[in-house]
Amino acid sequence: MNTLFISDLHLSAERPEINGLFIDFLHGQARQARALYILGDLFEAWLGDDLIPPEYQAAITAIRQLTASGVPVYIMYGNRDFLMRDAFEQMTGAVLLADEYIIDLYGSPTLLLHGDTLCTDDIKYQQFRRMVRNPQWQDDLLAKPAEERLALAKQYRDMSKTEIAGKQEAIMDVNQDAVQAAMRITSVVQLIHGHTHRPDIHDFDLDGHCARRIVLGDWYQKGSVLVCNEHDCRLESIQ
């Protein structure tokens, strides 16, 4: 059986065709999987388990149906949906993962990340990330009324678009030194992440060992899935 990895779906009302593609994927290919890992940014925004947009309901139901069928689903926080909590797990039957998580992938210890922590050249983003991932900041935000949370989310999205438009492409990609440091600390030679929207498989030398970094694709124009089994890992498109 295959183990599947996806990320950066950014589900929203603006792209209903991607919402439908994801649901079809859950009812189809994912039903035959050993497990499904979603490595961040499943949703364009998540402002609390008590504030779920109607357009997310079908995806939540489909995830619940998948886990009820016996396929485990593991979901990692992204930079857009890090406010999911226990109620989300109860709604979907999925398991929320820590920001860094190591699995045994067919005998190969593999580090899973969303990928944003590797973009260390983007200093402004890393400062912003430290702020929004602070537990007290999150508790304060979740305590605000729905209207205020929605307004703040729009403000941060507008700020993000402005920031991205003025940044060089290289700054928004991962830093190779950060990649190697993360792999050394966790004693792995394989890393899977998303965030950068640059799907590829990178092989390189890490302290005399053959190492691999697999980057997942986004779901903006079409779907993207990493399919792994005991023989290999391959990136596939979903349309």
User: Residue 154: what pLDDT?
Assistant: 85
Structural domain that includes position 169:
3-238
Tokens of 32: 């035959």
Tokens of 74: 């593991």
Asked if 76 contacts 39 with a C-beta cutoff of 8 angstroms, the reply is yes
User: Residue 153: what pLDDT?
Assistant: 84
The per-residue pLDDT for range 135-178, each reduced to its tens digit, is 999 999 999 999 999 998 888 888 777 766 656 666 679 999 99
- Bridge partners, residue 147, by sequence: none
Tell me phi and psi for residue 87, to 5 degrees: -65, -35
User: Residue 155: what pLDDT?
Assistant: 87
Count of domains forming the chain: 1
Tell me phi and psi for residue 175, to 5 degrees: -95, 125
User: Residue 168: what pLDDT?
Assistant: 64
CA angle 118, 121, 125 (to 5 degrees): 80
User: Buried (b) or exposed (e) across 150-188, using 16+ Cβ within 10 A?
Assistant: eeebeeeeeeeeeeeeeeeeeebbbeeeebbebbeeeeb
User: Residue 167: what pLDDT?
Assistant: 60
CA angle 92, 98, 102 (to 5 degrees): 110
Given pLDDT bands bounded at 50, 70 and 90, which one contains residue 239?
A: confident
CATH of the domain at 232: 3.60.21.10
Asked if 175 contacts 96 with a C-beta cutoff of 8 angstroms, the reply is no
Residue 60 pLDDT exceeds 70: yes
User: Which range is least confidently modeled, 105-119, 147-161, 225-239?
Assistant: 147-161
Given pLDDT bands bounded at 50, 70 and 90, which one contains residue 64?
A: very high
User: Residue 160: what pLDDT?
Assistant: 73
- Paired sense of beta strands 200-206 and 209-215, if any: antiparallel
User: Residue 129: what pLDDT?
Assistant: 95
CA distance 221 to 239: 9
User: Residue 47: what pLDDT?
Assistant: 95
